[in-house]
Chains A and B, each alone.
Chain A
Amino acid sequence: MGTFIQWKNFEALVPYATMFKEGLIVTVLMALLTVLLGFVLGLVLSVMRMSNFRPFLWLAHAFPGVFGFFERDKSGLLRDSGFLFHLGRFNPLSFLATAYVEIIRSTPVLVQVMVIYFGVFSQLFDLPNFKIFGFIAFDRFFPGVMALAMNSGAYLCEIIRSGLQSIDGGQTEAARSLGLSQLQNLRFIILPQAIKNILPAIANEFVTIIKESAVTYTIGVQDIMAMVQAIKSATYLIMEPLLVATGLYFCLCFPLSKLIAYIERRMSRGDRR
């Protein structure tokens, strides 16, 4: 205890190589599943946020005689301000999605992971306790992935949304003036251009998740960080396993982000063709 970092201490870690390997697999698998589920959630949230679901305006259009006042004032002019204007524009789907995104983005991921695990999974569900590949405890791994995905979905929603909104408004105007519907505009004009911004950002989010997933050791997910804790209890070494973990995270994240940056550069070069 209290030893300086020493080479022989690293040699003492050799028997634990399998544990690091398993931790590495858990971390990567967790990050992959998180970004996948997070993407689905982000897609749903961004569709909600950008939807045109406005019940009061719908009423105004469907029954102009009765509910027209949501859209137009007494002299029949379109409202552009005031309480009724905002009520008319009120979009409950967008409101819910926005609230979710803001709550997630304004609270620590550690708190979210704990709330999901202790508040939701250990209270409401009885998760089967089997092991994936013989070493991944499902009843810890699954809540960990769910919590991270719920966190990441909020960020991915913003990535998708800002990617779509980064496309010049003139593109939509041109498409709509040719008679393309909103959906056709999205599919043929906006998405193909936005995907070049969105894909690299999603890949970067994957790198972020690899790092953030370390917090899930607090709910017993057997990831890289959990292995450091386990080895510490067994050997009373802390700095050496931590350095190994640092190396593992770095070797995962650094080449990945360089690769993403490279692909991003190549894709934007294609633009200037």
Chain B
Amino acid sequence: MIGDKLIQVRDLKKYYNRGAIKALDGVTVDIDRGDVMVVIGPSGSGKSTFLRSLNLLEMPTGGSIIFDGVDITKPKTKNAEGKLVKVDIDQHRQKMGMVFQHFNLFPHMTIMDNMTLAPIQVKHMNRAEAEKKAQGLLERVGLGDRAGAYPIQLSGGQKQRIAIVRALMMEPEVMLFDEPTSALDPEMVGEVLEVMKELAQEGMTMVVVTHEMGFAREVGSRVLFMADGKLLEQGSPADIFGNPQNPRLQDFLSKVL
């Protein structure tokens, strides 16, 4: 289904302090189904803000985000019969999995409960079914024997793999990653990137903010370069890394590569 537009971002703006800080300054981009979009850029360029706006963890100041044909930044939308109905953000968030830099597992729950809570409460899946599904996912990421453990008993790399499969439990249409390996010890980065790579190969639509240029080059289908809240350049990994046009991008690459 490549080429089918999943998320259309139009002139997205996020201002702070009466516009003195423009964390996002008019970003327009399409995210197609099956895209693995890697977002790179210097610190403070608005990468996190962009990602967090996509599922409205930040409410954008202006512009629109059309997800599955619905502008989720507006309070109301036209439904199939052309009637105005309320936009239910909870419902759209179910379809966007999110993985955070600091994992954000629920410390008072076992790994199994971390994974089954949302499917059971939100999707009304029955417990046995949810647990079976969770066990399958745990085995896929090599953590089949940790279902009964608490987050505190796991290493950083294990926590992040759990966070990924927890989001997958909801069968999202897109997965958003905000620097998923930045809080990890170097020896654990590989195991998390490996899981993300497999996910990409299965055709999952992904938006990944990362400083791992190797991952961007190898796994990314498109790379976005952001600076000062603006999308300065986008293209295939080969173009971005092999033939950068924008001087800011050239400068950035010379520092990180």
Contact = CB atoms under 8 A, between A and B. Distances in A.
Given A170-B102, A273-B150, A176 B61 contact: no
Interface in A10-50: none
B104 A173 contact: yes
A61 B104 CA distance: 31
B216 interface: no
Given A178-B93, A180-B121, A170 B153 contact: no
B122 A184 contact: yes
Contacts of B106: 171, 174-175, 189
Given A77-B15, A78-B60, A188-B117, A180 B122 contact: yes
Contacts of B16: 80
A180 B116 CA distance: 12
B62 A178 contact: no
A81 interface: yes
Contacts of B96: 177
A173 B100 contact: yes
A272 interface: yes
A271 B60 CA distance: 36
Interface string A174-204: 1111111100100011001100000000000
A173 B98 CA distance: 9
Contacts of A75: 62
> Main SS of chain A's interface residues?
helix
B107 A193 contact: yes
B104 A192 contact: no
Contact of B61 (A80, A175, A181): A80
B103 to A, nearest CB: 8
A76 interface: yes
A247 interface: no
A181 to B, nearest CB: 5
A38 to B, nearest CB: 27
Given A170-B102, A180-B122, A273-B152, A192 B90 contact: no
B248 to A, nearest CB: 26
Interface string A148-172: 0000000000000000000010110
B122 A193 contact: no
A80 B107 contact: no
B91 interface: yes
Contacts of B57: 173, 176-177
A135 to B, nearest CB: 46
Interface in B37-88: 55, 57, 59-62, 74-76
A64 interface: yes
Interface in B120-142: 121-123
Interface string A57-84: 0001110100000000001111011100
Contacts of B17: 80-81
Contact of B170 (A76, A178, A184, A272): A178
23 contacts: A78-B59, A78-B60, A80-B17, A80-B18, A168-B104, A170-B100, A170-B102, A171-B104, A171-B106, A173-B100, A174-B106, A176-B57, A176-B93, A177-B98, A178-B97, A179-B90, A179-B91, A179-B170, A180-B117, A180-B118, A189-B106, A192-B108, A271-B107
Interface of A: 60-62, 64, 75-78, 80-82, 168, 170-171, 173-181, 184, 188-189, 192-193, 271-273
Closest 3 CB pairs of A and B: A179-B94, A174-B104, A178-B118
Given A64-B74, A188-B121, 18 more contacts: A77-B13, A80-B18, A80-B61, A81-B17, A82-B18, A168-B104, A173-B98, A174-B106, A175-B118, A177-B96, A178-B122, A178-B166, A178-B167, A179-B90, A180-B90, A184-B121, A189-B106, A271-B107
